Structure 1
Amino acid sequence: MEPSANADLAADVDRVAAETGFAGVVRVDRAGTTELSAAYGLADRRHGIAMTPDTQVGIASGSKGMTALAVMSLVEDGTLSLGTTARSLLGTDLPLIADDVTIEHLLGHTSGIGDYLDEDDDIPITAYAMTVPVHELDTTEAFLRVLDGFPTAFPAGDRFFYCNGGFVVLALLAERASGVPFHDLVRDRVCRPAGLVDTDFLRSDALPGRAALGYVEMDGQWRTNVFHLPVLGTGDGGIYTTGADVHRFWTALFDGAIVSPDSVAQMVRPRSTAPEDPRRYGLGFWVHATRDDVVELEGYDAGVSFLSLHDPAAGLTATVVGTTAEAAWPLARLLQERLID
């Protein structure tokens, strides 16, 4: 991108951010150069603390890619296989999960298991959707209480259906197979080899000073999302990161620093089409609607909106993360139109 184009993009990002009251971070990297790194609004609205490009921000389901990589690293070392059944590690837990559901089904959202947080149920983003006190959800095993009791929706492998619970089950299986707590698996097998210095699962009731709060508008007031989400996320979400670390992540992924290039190719190969979404899905990663060479991570939850696009051939990463459920999408559309489509 020429310098004038960089300036035009920055001006358009500034304009859309101002028009929408965006609070969050935007970053664009290409071919080893950071073309845009900008922060807008407040990371802490009560105390008037400004967002910065180095602020740690929650990415919700963007974490699923890191869960998938932690699992795939266990596949590479023989601790698991894509054909390992969930039942072989669950024992008598979660008895409604069918006996033939495998790691591969769960990674690709084709398991058919009932979801504890079904996004087709039209639950308002402001709802207190968790069925147990959120402060009790501080380990992966603690999620057994919210995962249980959901009948199978369709036979394993029959079709794609986005399933948050499936990635919590993956975290549980990885933890049980390896004997290592899931959060440590992600730190040791994803964050450390990728050089992610500012990426981690953080407790929402004990956020460090550099972390932004997520916000939900309720009764005409902005309130933090601390009562809406598990106090400590697991396989389906809960990681905080920075724009710089997201770029490091994509670079490390396609350099083979996390798992082998063959495994990466398996994970970003389009396998399924998503209903009412033009994109395709691999194993833990979205794939662009028309370009097999552009992969995506996305997150949406109470107080979080996140999209990161990566074109490895061009060394291009475009990331937007906002601190409300809708904040990121106007800017994400702008970046996609200008840089990808």
Structure 2
Amino acid sequence: MSHTSTRLRRGAVVVAATGMLVVPAAGGTAAAAPPSGAVTATEPPSPSKAEVRKLTPAVERQIDATVRRVMKEAKVPGVTVGIWMPEQGRYVKSYGVADKATRRPMDPDLNMRIGSETKTFTVTALLELVDKGAVSLDDPIGKYVSDVPNGDSITLRQLAGMRSGLFNYTEDDDFFKALTSDPQRPFTPQQLLDYSFKHPVLFPPGEKFSYCNTNLILLGLVVEEASGRHLGDYLKHNVIDPVGMPDTFLPVGNEFPAPRAQGYTDQTATGKVEDATDWNPSWAWAAGAMISDLEDLRAWARTVATGILPNGDRLISPATQKERLTTPPAGMPGAGYGLGIFDVQGWIGHNGSLPGYESLTVYLPSAETTLVVVLNTDIDHKGTEPSTLFGEAVTKIISPGNVFDLPAEPAAR
């Protein structure tokens, strides 16, 4: 599968937005988006019960050994893995270092950049506005943002579902040169769109799946236009605070509060590995700039996959959540993509990748099990993102019938 992170030129990785309630067929062209109109069902159908292994000391030792093996093979400086199972146990452990220079150890409490997991927040904000009647998923983007190629035909649903046909700005050579030559420079949303819009559209709207960060920049602008608030402010008050995520936010510039891990990348002007901790993530904005930590992501995993807040209230209505979890095939075996979310072999959620950092936050609804992985490098190992390597290795142990296997394919991260 591809990564769902805000990878630069290679494009986005389809991060695990697992757990849609219908596992899509392998491969092929993405199915057409679901029809518009009211959804009468009050809750999505329940999948069959997944088998998960209790986190006994023996299983935990197996996870320990597997994580260390992946770290060594993929040369990952530091990683934290969190697993939560009702009545089956809890596993939270950090490995390696948060800073290669000082050898400061990795720690579960560190702040991390979460890349394309940001998309799940931006789309959640959009879906809240749908529930409020402020926007419709079948509105054309041209209603909110001018001068978008095919803007009268591309719907908000197609943008959120990665089926717009727009060019991914992070794959533009001029953008890559601008960012890597001056990683501290700020970008405006319009500048990012300009890199995309100078390219012809790739296909007619809705024709197929193509992961594209441009889509989320546009949806961020829609949230601002429809709400009358800055995206970061709307997310804080309407999404982040209701969930109870005190360490999660959308930065304005390169602010990155301590405690944090240093991040290491080879997406540089020279191709050499550099410390990207203080890079300005404004180039990713609504597609990938957010910061969070392990415990906040634990709360988010279940909320985004179910639409239900930790206190039992609903963040998203059942009908709108059902639309989010309609995940047509994404051209990768066992994986589909809905509205800003993946379903990979029953695991629902997203991954994230931007220079220096990767993350994976997924939820297995039928077993009420959460998996969160955060690490401080985005350097691929044999063409596969390290977050995927950890996700696959851990789920082979804890949920052998639902393995998070995300084949690496060229797509925008």
Q: Which TM-score bucket, shorter chain as reference? A: 0.7 to 0.9
> Quick one: which of 55, 58, 68 aligns to 2:113?
58
Counterparts of 2:71 and 2:183 in 1: how far apart (Å)?
Answer: 32
1:244 maps to 2:303:
no
> Quick one: which of 71, 92, 117 aligns to 1:17?
71
> Quick one: which of 78, 82, 86 aligns to 1:31?
86
8 Å CA contact 1:59–1:306 kept in 2: the answer is yes
DSSP-derived class of the 1:40 partner = strand
Deviation of 1:167 after TM superposition, in Å, equals 0.7
Counterparts of 1:238 and 1:172 in 2: how far apart (Å)?
Answer: 15
8 Å CA contact 2:179–2:185 kept in 1: the answer is no
Give runs of aligned pairs for residues 1-341 of structure 1, distance below 5 A.
Answer: 1-3=54-56, 4-22=58-76, 23-31=78-86, 35-91=90-146, 93-94=147-148, 96-118=149-171, 128=177, 130=179, 135-137=184-186, 140-141=189-190, 143-202=192-251, 205-217=254-266, 222-225=273-276, 230-231=281-282, 233-253=284-304, 254=306, 256-257=308-309, 258-270=315-327, 272-276=328-332, 278-289=334-345, 291=346, 294-325=347-378, 326=380, 327-338=386-397, 339=399, 340-341=402-403
Q: Count matched residues.
A: 329
Deviation of 1:117 after TM superposition, in Å, equals 1.8
Counterparts of 1:128 and 1:45 in 2: how far apart (Å)?
Answer: 27
Letter in 1 for 2:84: D
Identity %: 24
Letter in 2 for 1:337: K
Which moved further from structure 2: 163-172 or 314-323? 314-323
Higher relative contact order (CA 8 A, sep 6+): 2
Counterparts of 1:220 and 1:238 in 2: how far apart (Å)?
Answer: 22
RMSD: 2.7
Letter in 1 for 2:329: T
Query: Which of the two has greater strand per residue?
Result: 1
8 Å CA contact 1:307–1:328 kept in 2: the answer is yes
DSSP-derived class of the 1:41 partner = strand
Deviation of 1:305 after TM superposition, in Å, equals 2.2
Residues 158 and 19 of structure 1, relative CA distance in 2, 3 Å threshold: closer
Letter in 2 for 1:174: V
Residues 274 and 220 of structure 1, relative CA distance in 2, 3 Å threshold: closer
Residues 298 and 226 of structure 1, relative CA distance in 2, 3 Å threshold: same
Deviation of 1:202 after TM superposition, in Å, equals 3.2
Residues 51 and 231 of structure 1, relative CA distance in 2, 3 Å threshold: farther
Counterparts of 1:24 and 1:2 in 2: how far apart (Å)?
Answer: 19
When normalised by structure 2's length, the TM-score is 0.72
Counterparts of 1:229 and 1:31 in 2: how far apart (Å)?
Answer: 39
8 Å CA contact 2:98–2:262 kept in 1: the answer is yes
Deviation of 1:87 after TM superposition, in Å, equals 0.6
